Amino acid sequence: MVAIISHRLRKLRRLRRRANQKLYLSGKTQQYLMREVLTTLFYLTLIIVLHTAAMMAFEALSFRDSLWLTLVSITTVGYGDFSAQSDLGRWATTLLIFLGGIFVLGKIAGDFLDFRSNQREAKKAGHWSYNRMKNHIVIIGSKNDSETHLLRLITEFQRNPETSDQEIILITSSFGTDFPFSFQQHGVKFVNGRGSDPTFLKQAGVSNAEIVILLAWDENDSSSDGHAYDIVSRIREMGSTASLVVECVDNNNRSRLESSGASLVLRPIRAYPEMIIGGLLNPGTIPILENLFTATGESIVVEEGATKGTWMEIVTATVSEDKGVPIAYRSRETGATITSPAGSSAVDADALFILRG
């Protein structure tokens, strides 16, 4: 018995040494530790059965009293209402309970603590598996992810009522095993790897996700669209039905990404990650928002001059004169910019902000 337990302990120490060198994916570590616990429980059950039988045979106790004596002895409670009196009974207690049972109980506690420790280390290093998670959000990072940009994107998801309750998993290799504390504070899960590798997609539970955001690998390199096409195809092949938002560097590749399975394709605008959430939750708005950020699209102009009336009257007059669509005004009294006021609002402006094509 002691030899078997010693062998198990040596195996566990070898696992610890390997884990310190490179943490395994959680599935492998978890399966190994689970086997250790189950094996130990088997030996513990065997000890309880043997000692109970010994007490019945050597001490002439009933099964109920023998089992009670075994349990209070192996848990070191020792009420003293029953005890082994014969030499054989005492030797059985010494060998089975004190040399076997208590040692095995200690090992169970140690295995559990090792499991929890491995779990914490694996999660922090990005090696934990979330393949059983469902209805979550997966963000697949770029070549050089910015903590600021990702944090704004994550915060926007958590701020929006429609996505605030969903878990977020980030796949990125930009931070190594040093996952920023700011992400941990927001409860973000971490997978340390690249989205082009199916191992990490499975680790993040992409096939069960509700929303997947694929950031452009390099926002200044159109070849990133090929990288995105490969990942989109792979995700759909894994059976994912998630809303898949993909950043596209070259607008000519937009239709190709859509045909590969992308739900929404937009240009990478690192300064405004909120556009991703806006386009996802409000279908059809992306072309409008993108045009505002290009020289060939719509633009917002400022028309200086005093203007009074209700907002509805001002908008109607401006549109009728084919000047564009007013979207805001600057208050002459406070100097504040008022965006999208109610139609019946009384306006006293010294400038209008007009959307023009």
pLDDT tens, residue by residue, 183-225? 999 999 999 999 999 999 999 999 999 999 999 999 889 999 9
The pLDDT of residue 19 is above 60: no
**pLDDT at residue 15 in the model:** 43
Mean pLDDT of 216-243: 93
What pLDDT was estimated at residue 292?
A: 61
* Residues 108, 6 contacting (CB under 8 angstroms): no
Identify which of 232, 234, 226 has the alpha carbon closest to the alpha carbon of residue 245. 232
- Cα separation of 112 and 106, whole Å? 10
Q: Any residues with CB less than 8 A from the CB of 30 and at least 6 apart, and which?
A: 115, 119, 129
Choose the weakest-confidence range: 60-64, 86-90, 163-167, 296-300. 296-300
Domain 2-125 belongs to what topology? Helix Hairpins (1.10.287)
Q: Give the residue with greater pLDDT, 46 vs 102.
A: 46
Q: 149: which 2 tokens? A: 């940009």
Cut 0.75: pTM above it: no
Start and end residues for every CATH 3.40.50.720 domain found in the chain: 137-292
Range 137-292: architecture per CATH: 3-Layer(aba) Sandwich (3.40)
Q: Boundaries of CATH 1.10.287.70 in the chain?
A: 2-125
pLDDT surpassing 60 at residue 165: yes
Q: Please, is 31 exposed, middle or buried when counting C-beta atoms within 10 Å of its C-beta (0-12, 13-18, 19+)?
A: exposed
pLDDT at 21: 34
Other residues' Cβ atoms within 10 Å of the Cβ of residue 170 = 26
